[in-house]
Amino acid sequence: MPSIVTANTLASGEVVYLASDGRWVRAITDAAIAATKADAAMLDAVAARAVDAREVTAVYAMDVTVVDGRPAPISVREKIRAALGPTV
């Protein structure tokens, strides 16, 4: 199953996703998709460096579906986190 890497910024706590260029982005649709174990290992290594640099915290990989070439969350929790706004 494809996956992406998500985290929270250390400065603001915002939900972010790891993009293919190593930047942390707010839109889940801009996240790099790991289709293989090798892809996932590479993203994990980039994320680990960001944790060491104290850019992000609470890093983890999450399974996604791919819709039109872009990742989409599967679980309700991740749908809420990807909504880019408060839930009321």
d(CA 80, CA 21): 25
Q: Where are the alpha helices (DSSP H) in 5-83?
A: 37-52, 76-82
* 38, two tokens: 């090798």
Give the pLDDT confidence score for residue 84 in this predicted structure: 75
Q: pLDDT (tens digit, 9 = 90+) per residue, 29-65?
A: 999 999 999 999 999 999 999 999 999 999 999 999 9
Q: What is the per-residue pLDDT across 69-87, written as a single tens digit (0 to 9) for each?
A: 999 999 999 999 999 766 6
| Tokens read off for 46 | 């980039």
- In whole angstroms, what is the distance from residue 41 CA to residue 48 CA? 10
Compute φ and ψ for 3, nearest 5 degrees.
Answer: -145, 165
